[in-house]
A and B are shown apart, each in its own frame.
Chain A
Amino acid sequence: MKGPVDDSPGPSVRSHPHSLSVTWAVRAEEAVISTSTPAVELEGITKRFPGVVANRDISLSVRQGHVHAVVGENGAGKSTLMKILYGMQRPDEGEIRVNGKPVSFRSPADAIEVGVGMVHQHFMLADNLTVLENVVLGSEPRKGGLGLDFGSARERIREISRSYGLGVDPDALVEDLGVGARQRVEILKVLYRGARILILDEPTAVLVPHEVDELFANLRGLVREGLTIIFISHKLDEVLSVADAITVIRRGTTVASVDPKDVTARQLAELMVGSELPSPETRESTVTDTVELSVRGLTVRSADGRPVVDDVSFDIRKGEVLGIAGVEGNGQAELVEAIMGMRAVEGEIRLGGQDISAWPTLRRREAGIGYIPEDRHRHGLLLEAPLWENRILGHQTRRPNVKGPWIDRSGARADTRRIVEEYDVRTPGIDVDAAALSGGNQQKLIVGREMSGDPVFLIASHPTRGVDVGAQAAIWDHLRAARAAGLAVLLISADLDELIGLSDTLKVILRGRIVADVDPRDVTPERLGSAMTGAGEAA
């Protein structure tokens, strides 16, 4: 398959109405590049990791002075592609051309050499240093032999900041800056090193809405000055509002290049997932009257005694999915760990009428609590162990994994094969290490394992995070089937559609407290979103 290329006509339509004179570091060759040469071209890029192909035959053409968005689901291969583009990883096949010239990056230093710079999603700034110190870190200007030439660096930072309207004060301490300003420092850091092509990895993930607007204004300022921006995101409305061109990546390869003027968010979403969007909706209610899990006055304290889960109470009945909505870090993880018995708590937890508050984790699991953890690598898997040993994890006291004190190898292996079969885990065999599987397949294995313990109550924490669409739909099906069979489910997710679609009851958690009860049948993601940030608290 030949990858499609950007087919929007002619050179950039953006003019340069009031170009400020930029006196620094414009490379000689850049001056002669015509605007019709693509800033970046990728052709046939393929990158393999053990067990998976992260990128396959990727083709992409980014025009000078464009904001070019690369969109795709989590796990579609965007991050790998960008790592290749700024020299973190080398492709196995394919060619990268920057300003028409083929390049081969061995390290990010090679990439910055030709003007390609990366602004990371997670800031890489030292809090206790000033902006100036952070910016020059690693490329300190020298004066004479040993002395640092902070004077000229400060001047240059001011100039860059002025030219692009970034509003960065070189002498401010980074710890005093807000998230938006820190991001501008990151951008400035890359510009300072002479980048003319900026890669921004999910830059809005950490920003609040007005900061997003500011960022987009900054980005437009940058492209006006002739810079090129590659913008990675999966937030479609943002992409549509800021991008000049969009390339969609699905399952590791480029599937379409579109003009944002010609597509709607829904069309874009369908390009991303490659089919009609699956719907997490559950049909009819299976909620019974029997309370399976009852939580009363649950409080979890952090090391310094501050409550991170604060007096939380709820009931989950058999056949009911209780969704917990909330911005991450509002106590969801602690709530889950409290129910699993991994943390000291105050309050009462009853499972099927029994007080399990004092039980250790293993006994809770034996009593029928299944657990799909938020961080599958930390809590769900032994990455360096084969799949069949992972089948035993968390079920190491139950058949078919053990016989008395002995591990039942053949029993565990046979049951692992069954899970691989029934849950469609794509793997060459059950003896490969869990680490060799893609995220979606790892998750399917975990779901299969937790469902195999005949749970009466299941904690599903972000069950489809970082999972491809096919696996997502399958996991939803399994959850629905289990719910119909009378399973009580506590669902925690950042995906509001998933929450609304799967839950029978929805509660909103904010700063460790349940602040609202929402009826999933008549709530929109927008209203739920505002409740999560506390805006709905008064309402």
Chain B
Amino acid sequence: MSPAGSSFTDRLLGRVRLGGLLSLAAPVLAIVFAGLITSIVLLVTGGPPLETLGVMVDYGVQPRTMVLTLNYATTYYLSALAVAVGFRMNLFNIGVDGQYRLAALIAAAVGGAAVLPGPLNTVLVIVVAMLVGAGWASIAGLLKVRRGVSEVISTIMLNAIATALGAWLLNTDRLAVEVAGSNNIGTKPIPEAARVPGLEIIPGTGTKVFGLILLAVAMGVLYHVLLNRTRFGFDLRATGRSESAAVASGVNVRKMVLIAMIMSGAMAGLIGMPQLLGASYSYSLDFPTGLGFTGIAIALLGRNHPVGIALGALLWGFLDASSNILQLHDISPEIVAIMQGTIVLSVIVAYELVHRYQISAGQRRVSKELAGKTPAQPEGASA
């Protein structure tokens, strides 16, 4: 009866494994359900559901939109990985948002100062971003291990502080300069030699895919290897599954909390990089915000699995990219936000349903196996 003993959070955060096809069934179920809900909302607001979907798909497969989708997905993927690192050991890093914004701002300023030549500057920008993200996250980590402050509370508060700090720093007296030809202000643009060129991997459009999509892929591989193939990853997962067992086996849980928080923050620092080094080259008032929260949704959707997260990020990117067309058809693009929200909610429900189905399927399988044999030596239930 122990499989039923896992807590709802364990299942939600994917610490309980779902077998093979079933792990796909849940999100597919959720997306279908979300489609139904969205259709109802569309019907109520007077939009034709099937046509709307058709419009979105038609627009979504155009080369330019596909590039857009990939670019969105790149940042979402990094964001979700940052969240997932924490999730794997029971840490809710809600502060990814603040971490990446602060990291991008400071990294942009450093990059704009051009202290190093060419590609070395690129590396410097990325390293600074990771350090700032890690540093900001480590505040929450230290508060947790030293003072027992819940990281949920502290990271939410640190988000607010990061916003204020960012506003203070992004001022013409400090890190910002006026952007030519507008009333926008931003950091000094990163010199051309340090920018990361886009990739023309989708033919038929001049728009390029972020060069740093390769960084996102590399991070996904690193995440997988680190968690599943290393001692460190084993300790991290063990702590997430059972803190008491981890302590008894010699894991220093406080150290793990701090390291996991720092890793999550460093990963968060990367979120702004594709945009910064591949498109805007400066951190200005219109730098994208809120990506950290999208990351939470996608990490949940992908059950913290590097491939699952990739699929989730692509779906999110597709929805965001193709929603642009809806306004031309007099449909509110917010319908996409409704769909995304419903997906997250229904995916949680679907994982739960699949989990229950698995338990009963497991019981049936066991009884079938036992019926096949002659009444073998039964084992007593564990007390």
Identify which of B42-50, B211-219, B225-233 touches chain A: B225-233
Chain B contacts of A505 at CB under 8 A?
Answer: none
Chain B contacts of A377 at CB under 8 A?
Answer: 2
Assess the B380–A77 pair: CB atoms within 8 A. Answer: yes
Task: Enumerate A330-376 residues with CB–CB distance to B below 8 Å.
Answer: 340, 342, 360-366, 371, 373
CA distance A532 to B232 in the complex (A): 44
Given contacts A342-B248, A382-B242, A405-B231, contact A48 B380 (CB under 8 A): no
Chain B contacts of A389 at CB under 8 A?
Answer: 234
Chain A contacts of B370 at CB under 8 A?
Answer: 48, 53
Interface 1/0 per residue, B1-20 and A, CB below 8 Å: 11101100010000111000
The yes or no answer to A73 lying at the interface (CB within 8 A) is: yes
Assess the A383–B242 pair: CB atoms within 8 A. Answer: yes
CA distance A442 to B383 in the complex (A): 12
Assess the B379–A384 pair: CB atoms within 8 A. Answer: no
Chain A contacts of B383 at CB under 8 A?
Answer: 74-75, 79, 439, 465-466
CA distance A290 to B381 in the complex (A): 42
Assess the A383–B249 pair: CB atoms within 8 A. Answer: no
Assess the B250–A362 pair: CB atoms within 8 A. Answer: yes
> Number of B interface residues, CB 8 Å?
43
Assess the B230–A405 pair: CB atoms within 8 A. Answer: yes
- Give, as a whole number of angstroms, the nearest-CB distance from B375 to chain A: 7
Assess the B362–A52 pair: CB atoms within 8 A. Answer: no
Assess the A378–B245 pair: CB atoms within 8 A. Answer: yes
Which has the most chain A C-beta neighbours within 10 Å: B5, B375, B377, B383? B383
Assess the B379–A340 pair: CB atoms within 8 A. Answer: no
CA distance A440 to B383 in the complex (A): 9
Interface 1/0 per residue, A427-444 and B, CB below 8 Å: 000000101111111100
| 8 Å CB contact of A396 from B235, B244, B248, B367 | B235
The yes or no answer to A100 lying at the interface (CB within 8 A) is: no
The yes or no answer to A327 lying at the interface (CB within 8 A) is: no
CA distance A340 to B381 in the complex (A): 30
Assess the B378–A53 pair: CB atoms within 8 A. Answer: yes
Assess the B381–A77 pair: CB atoms within 8 A. Answer: yes
Interface 1/0 per residue, A388-411 and B, CB below 8 Å: 010011111100001001110100
Given contacts A397-B231, A402-B231, A407-B230, contact A52 B379 (CB under 8 A): yes
| 8 Å CB contact of A54 from B17, B247, B375, B381 | B381
- Give, as a whole number of angstroms, the nearest-CB distance from A424 to chain B: 12
Chain B contacts of A251 at CB under 8 A?
Answer: 377-380
CA distance A25 to B233 in the complex (A): 62
Given contacts A50-B359, A406-B229, contact A56 B375 (CB under 8 A): yes
- Give, as a whole number of angstroms, the nearest-CB distance from A447 to chain B: 15
CA distance A54 to B10 in the complex (A): 26
CA distance A373 to B242 in the complex (A): 14
Chain B contacts of A439 at CB under 8 A?
Answer: 380-383
The yes or no answer to B184 lying at the interface (CB within 8 A) is: no
Chain A contacts of B244 at CB under 8 A?
Answer: 378-379
| 8 Å CB contact of B363 from A49, A342, A393, A466 | A49
Assess the A406–B380 pair: CB atoms within 8 A. Answer: no
| 8 Å CB contact of B232 from A73, A381, A405, A426 | A405
- Give, as a whole number of angstroms, the nearest-CB distance from A202 to chain B: 11
| 8 Å CB contact of B381 from A75, A396, A405 | A75
| 8 Å CB contact of A382 from B230, B233, B245, B381 | B245
Assess the A56–B1 pair: CB atoms within 8 A. Answer: no
CA distance A56 to B381 in the complex (A): 11
The yes or no answer to A76 lying at the interface (CB within 8 A) is: yes
CA distance A204 to B228 in the complex (A): 48
The yes or no answer to B221 lying at the interface (CB within 8 A) is: no
Chain A contacts of B250 at CB under 8 A?
Answer: 360-366, 394, 396-397
The yes or no answer to B241 lying at the interface (CB within 8 A) is: yes
Chain A contacts of B228 at CB under 8 A?
Answer: 407
Chain A contacts of B6 at CB under 8 A?
Answer: 383-384
Given contacts A50-B3, A435-B5, contact A440 B366 (CB under 8 A): no
The yes or no answer to A80 lying at the interface (CB within 8 A) is: yes
The yes or no answer to B251 lying at the interface (CB within 8 A) is: yes
Assess the A441–B229 pair: CB atoms within 8 A. Answer: no
The yes or no answer to B170 lying at the interface (CB within 8 A) is: no
CA distance A439 to B382 in the complex (A): 4
Assess the A438–B247 pair: CB atoms within 8 A. Answer: no
Closest to B226 in A: A405
| 8 Å CB contact of A438 from B10, B232, B252, B381 | B381
Chain B contacts of A441 at CB under 8 A?
Answer: 379
Assess the B381–A433 pair: CB atoms within 8 A. Answer: no
| 8 Å CB contact of A394 from B249, B379, B381 | B249
Chain A contacts of B251 at CB under 8 A?
Answer: 361-362, 396
The yes or no answer to B238 lying at the interface (CB within 8 A) is: yes
Which has the most chain A C-beta neighbours within 10 Å: B2, B3, B231? B2
Chain A contacts of B249 at CB under 8 A?
Answer: 361-362, 365, 393-396
Chain B contacts of A468 at CB under 8 A?
Answer: 379-380
Closest to B1 in A: A49
The yes or no answer to A127 lying at the interface (CB within 8 A) is: no
The yes or no answer to A51 lying at the interface (CB within 8 A) is: yes
Closest to A383 in B: B2
Chain A contacts of B16 at CB under 8 A?
Answer: 384
CA distance A389 to B17 in the complex (A): 14
Which has the most chain B C-beta neighbours within 10 Å: A389, A393, A394, A406? A393
Closest to A439 in B: B382
Chain B contacts of A113 at CB under 8 A?
Answer: none
Given contacts A251-B377, A433-B3, contact A392 B245 (CB under 8 A): no
- Give, as a whole number of angstroms, the nearest-CB distance from A399 to chain B: 12
- Give, as a whole number of angstroms, the nearest-CB distance from B251 to chain A: 7
Chain B contacts of A55 at CB under 8 A?
Answer: 381
- Give, as a whole number of angstroms, the nearest-CB distance from B3 to chain A: 5
CA distance A365 to B370 in the complex (A): 40
* 9 examples of A-B residue contacts, CB within 8 angstroms: A50-B1, A75-B381, A251-B377, A361-B250, A383-B242, A384-B6, A396-B238, A402-B231, A433-B3
Add 10 more A-B contacts to A379-B247, A383-B5, A406-B231 (CB < 8 A). A48-B370, A50-B359, A50-B362, A52-B366, A79-B381, A92-B367, A362-B250, A389-B234, A395-B249, A436-B3
Closest 3 CB pairs of A and B: A362-B250, A439-B382, A54-B381
Interface residues of B (CB under 8 A from A): 1-3, 5-6, 10, 15-17, 228-235, 237-238, 241-242, 244-245, 247-252, 359, 362-363, 366-367, 370, 375, 377-383
